[in-house]
Structure 1
Amino acid sequence: MANLFDPIQLGDLSLANRIVMAPLTRSRSQGLLPGPLAVEYYRQRASAGLIISEGTQISAEGQGYLDTPGIHTPEQIAAWKKVTDAVHAEGGKIAVQLWHVGRISHQVFQPDGGAPLSSTDRIANGRTFTSEGFVPVSAPRALSSAEIPQVVQQFVHAARCAMEAGFDAIEVHGANGYLLDQFMRDSINDRRDDYGGSIENRARLTVEVMSAIARAIGPGRSGIRLSPVTPVNDAGQDSDAQALFNHVAAQLAPLQLAFVHVIEGHTMGPRDVAPFDYQAMRANFQGPWMVNNGYTREMALQAVAEGRADLVAFGRDFISNPDLVRRLRLNAPLQPLDKATQYGGDARGYTDYPALA
């Protein structure tokens, strides 16, 4: 039986264990650049088998929240290189999460104050974090068919920038009601072109993005995050989520990606928010399978031992426990998260959580 603490080969990456630090937005990248605090934050957590960075926008249009970093300019590449060097110096591995928020944005973040881009022109019932605090998102504009190839190329450009910045891999954010999810779900996508209507059409952009990235940087360094039933960011349930995500998994399988990372249930909420058979979805992919959402030590050990997952991603526990891998090995108590310092701010609640003595 596999063990949570066993090494694993993940595409081109040899990982020391199967514990993954999930992507965590912290809104501390002033000027859209990770700074010295970020270097220390990720360095502290390098004992994870794999770190997946906070959501990192692929373009100016991809931003949706205050002080989130990008990975599409030379300055951003140089700033992230300091992070990846620090993680590698500690023997760790790190992937960047490539992010386009779609309609979960505000005009203050968009070039020339334009409308956020999406699969639809319907506004989301959601909020975003700006310099004024949490405010309602802006009304989006539906991408034209002619504009979609440019979005694919933005993902590819960001993936290449990530390799230049020293990342070991990339994870495309296809979850949580952001751009790719906005195309996949028929609760959001109301298009009548080749990217709307049928399951095949709605999955098309996600498959095109992953195919293009795999060609550009290699499939063994490319992964994706999906969330079949989470309702966050006004992502209503698809009319047939099981058929949709079984199809997506089947279309991704021939690419031989490094991993698929699945959020089970409601992101940061109930795991049983809607019925879904994750193992049926997994049967269509057959590559490394990463699971996430509310896993305890016992749940993670059992999932790996029973073969229901190859890796387990932990989110909030990694915020308050930089040495989470050691704590899980020893079954040591975990420090609680200070929610007041989760977003924005300085070192407090970011790099000052102590490790075990």
Structure 2
Amino acid sequence: MTDNLFQPYALNNSLHLANRILMAPLTRCMSDAELVPTQEMADYYARRAGAGLIISEATIIRPDGQGYPNTPGLFTPAQIIGWRKVTDAVHNKGGKIFAQLWHTGRVAHPHFFNGQDVMAPSAVAVEGSVPRMRELTYVTPKAVTHDDIQQLIQDYSQAAANAIDAGFDGVEIHGANGYLIDQFLHHDSNHREDEYGGSPENMSRFALAVVDAIIDRIGHERTALRLSPGAYFNMAGDKRDRAVFDYILPQLERRHLAFLHIGIFDDAMEFDYLEGRVSDYVRKHYQQTLVGVGSYTPDHASAAIANERFDLIAIGRPFIANPDYVEKVRQGKTLTPYSDDMLSTLF
């Protein structure tokens, strides 16, 4: 039984979802050369408007945030106009959509922004090369200055305002999965000794400043955040990270976000310093709207929601394979299996 997945859900007084199934952000690398969303992208998202809420693919807030080819932006007029085509298409189908705001930090590559500095909390490189462009190996980033940090906060805020101008219903700040904000929250990537490093309060300062700036700009009811307390992607775990998230989660609860979204590829993963699964750890420290994710089947997601482990479920790859995922689950139809071959086109 999966009936609870199809119950309406109120994020707050101004945003109501038709069901509890979210489309997770899925990087597709399909924007044009100027990082402008295309008509094909608008059609792709519109076909998935049956989700209670779509969270867009990660969208960069400024040029030096780019770490993958053809990922869309939200910092030029043309990009805003392109996204307006997407949001109009989704709204015309009765759906809702948030923009995920992104800066990749130390996994950006200067190839994408004319050889300028790569920005990160500390001058600590990540190993490896750019996905889809393996000839590009990662470089040692520049440790951001205080002026850089203030500009980044402003740029996140402006991107949120641009998202509203583009017709989005709200934004999800990407603070997870080893990207810029997450890099401030983990000891592996944050070696700072100033007010942005060292202690849980200091390491949380940048993330909270971004959240507060966006709330001030567009309202708490339209502001969400994705977090990865468990370091697992382009990041090594450290038992000291636990204290950072013990600190930041109650701070976030006070801000009455639209939702908090867990960043994990597979929620079956366990972390010693979190005493188990990330979702169980977060739920113990955060009692407002929580979005689970990570290889859940409809039955398992329904059971997790029934057991109050989280309130909403975000579905990723199955939405690539099944534009009509929600209706298929509702009607008990067989889902088309996901295949990596599907990544070559938008359908």
Normalising by structure 1, what TM-score? 0.91
- The equivalent of 1:8 in structure 2 is 9
Equivalent residue of 1:32, what SS? coil
- The equivalent of 1:354 in structure 2 is none
Q: Does 1:18 align with 2:20?
A: yes
**Which amino acid letter does the alignment assign opposite residue 182 of structure 1?**
Q
- The equivalent of 2:252 in structure 1 is 252
Q: Give, in angstroms, the shift of residue 268 of structure 1.
A: 5.1
Q: Aligned partners of 2:125, 2:204: CA distance in 1, in Å?
A: 21
Contact 2:105/2:179 (<8 A) preserved: yes
Moved more, 118-127 or 202-211: 118-127
Contact 2:283/2:310 (<8 A) preserved: no
Q: Aligned partners of 2:254, 2:228: CA distance in 1, in Å?
A: 21
Number of residue equivalences: 341
1:82-97 equivalences in 2 (<5 Å):
82-97=85-100
After superposition, the C-alpha distances for 1:99-120 in whole angstroms (9 at most, x for unaligned) are 000010211112x312210011
**Which amino acid letter does the alignment assign opposite residue 128 of structure 1?**
V
Contact 2:283/2:309 (<8 A) preserved: no
- The equivalent of 1:294 in structure 2 is 295
Q: Aligned partners of 1:136, 1:273: CA distance in 2, in Å?
A: 29
Equivalent residue of 1:25, what SS? coil
Contact 2:24/2:315 (<8 A) preserved: yes
Q: Does 1:35 align with 2:33?
A: no
What percentage of residue pairs aligned between the two structures are identical?
Answer: 41
- Of the three residues 46, 52, 57, the one matched with 1:54 is 57
- The equivalent of 1:313 in structure 2 is 314
Contact 1:7/1:15 (<8 A) preserved: yes
Q: Pairwise CA RMSD of aligned residues?
A: 1.8
Q: Aligned partners of 1:157, 1:133: CA distance in 2, in Å?
A: 32
Normalising by structure 2, what TM-score? 0.94
Q: Aligned partners of 1:48, 1:210: CA distance in 2, in Å?
A: 25
Q: Aligned partners of 2:64, 2:11: CA distance in 1, in Å?
A: 31
1:1-357 equivalences in 2 (<5 Å):
3-11=4-12, 12-30=14-32, 31-110=34-113, 112-129=114-131, 132-133=133-134, 135-233=136-234, 235-264=235-264, 267=265, 271-272=269-270, 274=272, 275-276=275-276, 278-342=279-343, 345=344, 348=345, 350-351=346-347
Contact 2:64/2:110 (<8 A) preserved: no
Q: 1:52 to 1:106 in 2, by over 3 A?
A: same
Q: Aligned partners of 1:134, 1:44: CA distance in 2, in Å?
A: 35
Q: Give, in angstroms, the shift of residue 122 of structure 1.
A: 1.3
Q: 1:269 to 1:118 in 2, by over 3 A?
A: same
Contact 1:117/1:141 (<8 A) preserved: yes
Unpaired stretches in structure 1, ≥5 consecutive residues: 352-357
Q: Aligned partners of 2:243, 2:10: CA distance in 1, in Å?
A: 29
Contact 1:246/1:280 (<8 A) preserved: no
Contact 1:2/1:307 (<8 A) preserved: no
